[in-house]
Amino acid sequence: MDMIDWAITVAKALVVFLVLFQVAPIMAWVERRGSALMQNRLGPNRVGPLGLLQSLPDGIKFLFKEDLVPQHVNKFYFLLAPIVTLVPAFMTFAAIPFGSSIDLGDRVIHFQVADLNVGLLYVFSIASLGVYGIIMAGWSSNNKYALLGSLRSSAQMISYELSMGLSIVGILMIFSSVKLGDIARMQGETLLQLGPLAIPKWGIFVQPLGFLIFLTATYAETNRLPFDLPEGESEIVAGYHLEYGAMKFALFMMAEYVNMTTASGMVATLYFGGWQLLPGMGWVLTQLPLEGLQLEWARVGFEILSFFLKVAFLMWLYVWVRWTLPRFRYDQLMDLGWKVMLPLSLVNIFVTGVLIYYGVI
């Protein structure tokens, strides 16, 4: 690797980091406006056009509030917990491809921070680190509600990680690669040709059951409704971040939103073709009066836009589902995880194996 390659890698990492950093304020606005509209209210609409700048004063408020550390906490772990929660959240996105590659003649740029050969496994291993921060926060707070919240969170994450991991085995069997770049590229192939309509080999079409299980499991993994028992406002006040205030609380919120983005990115990459162009975009691309390298750049731009739109829709789905489904009871949550999702994901693997053996997929 020469200096320019290093510079390109650093630039990619920086851009991804900065974009992820903007997710929290924007999602906070989307969540507040979205939930308000669904409840027939208007939501914050005073600061800036449509209230878009609302997160700015909120952020300033978080920064300038008193940084309180209660006396009864274990100070070292109490201060460490938000960092331990936030860092893995940012790390996971590195392996997700947000565009294909572009050939500049003397070098090829891949639009992915790190094309690891263990891509998928890396994402899963780092994502499961996030639970340590939550356990640390709950335990070091020395508070019964906080401890209950973190216990719930760890139990929930362990039971849902199982079916989550098994649900993507089907994808691995079909595309026979764990490199996320490969998986995204292979989803560009055509699965079925129905007259003029070509159905691409997106994960959702070859693995509908696996998609449902994976999507449900990501909701449990990111502690979002209907699986937000670790927070459970009406039962255990605020759960694991009960004793946190000011910027430390904001870090937990940010970690939650970044985790949501990563989970949406994973769903988009595995089941919605990642950076594969959305229907209609390929046609638009052929109509543009561009040639050679310019066309290549336009293609990459459309690919990044496609990926962005897919992730944005899945993020919106989080908000949408939040105000549609009520919270599960704890035993129902465990029932769903162990008695429904785990057997179903095993069945999914079996059926996929049979279909592959008979050459259907």
- State which of residues 21, 41, 68, 332 lies at the interface with other proteins (CB under 8 A): 41
The answer to whether 316 contacts other proteins (rule: CB under 8 A) is no
- State which of residues 2, 40, 108, 331 lies at the interface with other proteins (CB under 8 A): 40
Stretch that binds other proteins, among 10-18, 30-38, 113-121, 245-253 (CB under 8 A): 30-38
- Select 40 or 234, whichever has its Cβ closest to other proteins: 40
- Select 41 or 72, whichever has its Cβ closest to other proteins: 41
- The sign of the torsion formed by the CA atoms of 169, 171, 175, 177 equals negative
**Please, what is the minimum distance in Å from the beta carbon of residue 193 to other proteins?**
28
**Please, what is the minimum distance in Å from the beta carbon of residue 212 to other proteins?**
7
**Please, what is the minimum distance in Å from the beta carbon of residue 226 to other proteins?**
10
Burial level of 361, CB count in 10 A (0-12/13-18/19+)? Answer: middle
**Contact assessment for residue 34 and residue 40, using Cβ atoms and an 8 Å cutoff:** no
- The sign of the torsion formed by the CA atoms of 284, 286, 287, 293 equals positive
Determine the Cα–Cα distance for residues 64 and 219; give it in Å rounded to an integer.
32
**Please, what is the minimum distance in Å from the beta carbon of residue 51 to other proteins?**
12
Collapse the DSSP code of 3 into the 3-class scheme (helix H, G, I; strand E, B; otherwise coil) and give the result: helix
- Select 308 or 323, whichever has its Cβ closest to other proteins: 323
Stretch that binds other proteins, among 40-48, 53-61, 250-258, 293-301 (CB under 8 A): 40-48
The site map against other proteins for 169-208 (x = CB under 8 A) is ----------------------------------------
Determine the Cα–Cα distance for residues 323 and 39; give it in Å rounded to an integer.
8
Q: Residue 203: which residues within 8 A CB-CB, separation 6 or more? A: 171, 183, 187, 210, 211, 270, 271, 272, 273
The answer to whether 212 contacts other proteins (rule: CB under 8 A) is yes
The answer to whether 339 contacts other proteins (rule: CB under 8 A) is no
Determine the Cα–Cα distance for residues 68 and 79; give it in Å rounded to an integer.
11
**Please, what is the minimum distance in Å from the beta carbon of residue 209 to other proteins?**
10
- State which of residues 11, 15, 42, 104 lies at the interface with other proteins (CB under 8 A): 42
Q: Binders of other proteins: how many residues, by CB under 8 A?
A: 13
- Select 41 or 75, whichever has its Cβ closest to other proteins: 41
**Please, what is the minimum distance in Å from the beta carbon of residue 297 to other proteins?**
36
Q: Give exposure, 171-206, as e/b (b: 16+ Cβ within 10 Å).
A: bbebbebbbbbbbbbbbeeeeeeeeeeeebbbbbbb
The site map against other proteins for 318-337 (x = CB under 8 A) is --xx-xxx------------
- Select 34 or 239, whichever has its Cβ closest to other proteins: 34
- Select 222 or 276, whichever has its Cβ closest to other proteins: 222
Q: Residue 205: which residues within 8 A CB-CB, separation 6 or more? A: 191, 192, 199
Scanning the chain, the segments in alpha helix (DSSP H) are: 3-38, 55-64, 75-92, 119-127, 130-140, 144-167, 169-175, 180-186, 203-206, 208-221, 233-236, 246-271, 281-287, 292-322, 330-335, 342-357
- Select 295 or 321, whichever has its Cβ closest to other proteins: 321
| Interacting residue ranges for other proteins, rule: CB under 8 A | 34, 37-42, 212, 320-321, 323-325
